Chain A
Amino acid sequence: MNTVLQLVFSGIAMGFVYALCALGIVLIYTSAGVVNFAQGSLVMLGAYIGVTFLTKAGLPVIWSVIGCAILMGFVGVVFERIAYYPLRDQGTTIVIISTIGVSVFLNDGVYVLWGRAPLFFPPLLGGPPLELLGARIPPQNIAIAAITMALLLFQTIFFKRTWLGRKMRAVAQDQDTAALMGIKVPRMIDFTFAYSTILAAIAGIFAAPLFFVSPAIAQILSKAFASTVVGGFGSIPGAIIGGLCVGLTETFAAYYLSSAYRDAWAFLLLILFLLVRPQGIFGEIVAEKV
């Protein structure tokens, strides 16, 4: 029993990390209509900036997280102004290639700024693992789950109860109509990129103690992408549920089927969804109009 529980906790922890990255992908997709292939690299950059504030500058954890989030918000706006805005009328493919270019730039750029050695990121919550029914849960994993759920709650309230959130939703639904209603569409897209990059920063800060800080963190993108497809492309609850599905699937399959193909199981789940339910768990079938 405790093995199953241990696998559940581990799968959930990994799933929430994927979900945080997936949330950023979903937000940009719904507002700008493009898949941001640099989201994994932004997660990585968030981890590097976070570790710099925490261990180099010696800031307390809370200020490191806040400082990293603010800085990454600006990075998000700059990213949008360079990689998306000038190319937005050139077609989706061009913008996607642009985000891939930014990803390569960031992955190699961190070597210049931080060197090649992986950086150790201390757990944000220390202390011994929590024992529950024979399973051990590191405090770090509890923090990841709590923060992700808190962010989901905040995001729901923000998008449904605030003017800014409603404007961003309006832009996501129909940019032309939103513009006719007097909403400054470019400004709202700025906000969306900033917010999704802040999410990436938070994902990076929480993923870093589990992995360590290196460009390999950017590889999280593939799992986040699978999460968005499984959950339903464009769905915020879908990103969370999809992340959890991917995390749990790969952990259980690694134990019960084959540990060597851990990543393959996650992508098998993705393929199964594409075949059986391509709209994902929370997605809706959109009829093509002639």
Chain B
Amino acid sequence: MQRRLIATLTAALMLVVGLLGTVSAEKWIPVNEFKIGKVLHMTGDVALTGEKQRKGLELILDEINAAGGIHGVLPIKVIYEDDMGTNPGAIAALNKLLYDHEVVVTFATVRSTMVHALAPIIEEEEIPAIFGGSAWSLSELRNPWMFRVRCDDRTVGAAMAKFLVEGLGHEKIAALHDSDAFGSGGYQETSRALKELYGIEPVTVQKYASGTKDYTAQWMAIRDSGATAVFGWGTRSEDDGIILRQRKELGLDNLDLVGSNSYSTGTTKDIAGDTAYGIYSLADFTLSTTDPYQQDYIRRFEEKWGEKPDGDCTWTSTGLLVFVDAIERADVIKVENGQVYMRPLKETRERIRDALRQTKDLQTPLGRANCDVWQNMVHSINVIQVVPDGERFISSVTVDFEPYQ
């Protein structure tokens, strides 16, 4: 009797386990492509930077898809939605990617103020998102689904302060910054570093709204403050180009200017022309790099697009490489009988998030990607000078970081 009971229970248990196994196997979803979203500036007055982001992304996308896609079996499809360069536009774009296209993971944008607008949706929808905005305030959100693939402002601010004081020997320093989240955050980080490291406070702080066309008042205030150097945090390359031209027109090009990455983008240089020569910039990426991997990236980019890459291009290239590396480590794809399957969406996203956190020593156009406790991937920045034939590499600063685990 007891033997029959044990046998019956064993058989029942095996049936349950077998059924569970069948259910688990059925959870895998057949897929023909892996959908990645990209909130992109396609129209509006920052559309040019959006175009560069697209080119950076598609360079890597086409190379990966030419090799078969993820694990060589699943092509990637990137779906773009236009953010029109505005916060409401970015929110609408992300909602379309989530609900109309059901993308698995997504890129947010490079503008910190827009990333702030997207952050609550990313957290609520639990979708892994890579972004390029560098404002430190984004790290302080502690959003478990957001990963940054550019150097954060705290690092850049410290490097900027160090270069102004130790590299150029200035003590009377003025600040000029965009009043949005990125510009204000960057200004605060540089000011904090100047104060903490050298006991220096800016002699004047001049702000402007994005899209301002006349900076005479700001430049006059800087001149009258007695500053010998200016540090600038600009969000839009278009604004930085005008700032540099008016600096020259007002005869203030004798002031050393050390600017954020946007001061050395191709767009800024196009607009500023020779008035950009001599300024310094803290750049994620420099064409004057001596790193063989980055030199090869520049060559491949030029071959594909007939132009040189800049900081707007490299963060999306880096982001896609980081995503693909994580997706391939996350064990979310399998092939059975020639059909590719993906785990259920929620589980796939969770596994990719966990894999992103384990990113280690991945080679990218922005250096080695390592995920730290703040979910920042990039930890080095270049100091460059804009010169007539391009850029002059001054130094590279890599900061210590605490790995995710």
Residues of A whose CB lies within 8 Å of any CB of B are 3, 6-7, 10, 13-14, 108, 111, 116-118, 120, 129, 136, 138, 210-212, 214-216, 219, 250-252, 254-255, 258-263
Contacts and interface: CB of A to CB of B under 8 A. Distances in A.
B111 interface: no
A7 B251 contact: no
B249 interface: yes
A161 to B, nearest CB: 36
Given A120-B273, A260-B207, A138 B179 contact: no
Contacts of A120: 270-271, 273
B179 A211 contact: no
Given A216-B238, A255-B221, A262 B216 contact: no
Contacts of A259: 206-208, 217-218, 221
B208 A251 contact: no
Contacts of A250: 214
> Most A CB atoms within 10 A — which of B44, B211, B241?
B44
Interface string B209-237: 10111101110110110000000000000
B214 A251 contact: yes
A108 B43 contact: yes
A129 B249 contact: yes
Contacts, number: 88
A138 B246 CA distance: 10
A33 B51 CA distance: 41
Given A7-B216, A129-B251, A260-B208, 16 more contacts: A3-B223, A6-B220, A7-B217, A7-B220, A10-B216, A14-B214, A111-B43, A120-B270, A120-B271, A136-B251, A138-B249, A250-B214, A251-B214, A254-B218, A261-B209, A262-B212
B397 interface: no
Contacts of B264: none
Nearest to A217: B213
A118 B271 contact: yes
A115 to B, nearest CB: 8
Contacts of A10: 214, 216-217
A263 B208 CA distance: 9
B161 to A, nearest CB: 22
A262 B270 contact: no
A129 B211 CA distance: 24
Given A117-B48, A214-B45, A262 B208 contact: yes
B250 interface: yes
6 contacts: A7-B217, A14-B213, A118-B267, A136-B249, A214-B238, A262-B212
A21 to B, nearest CB: 13
B76 interface: no
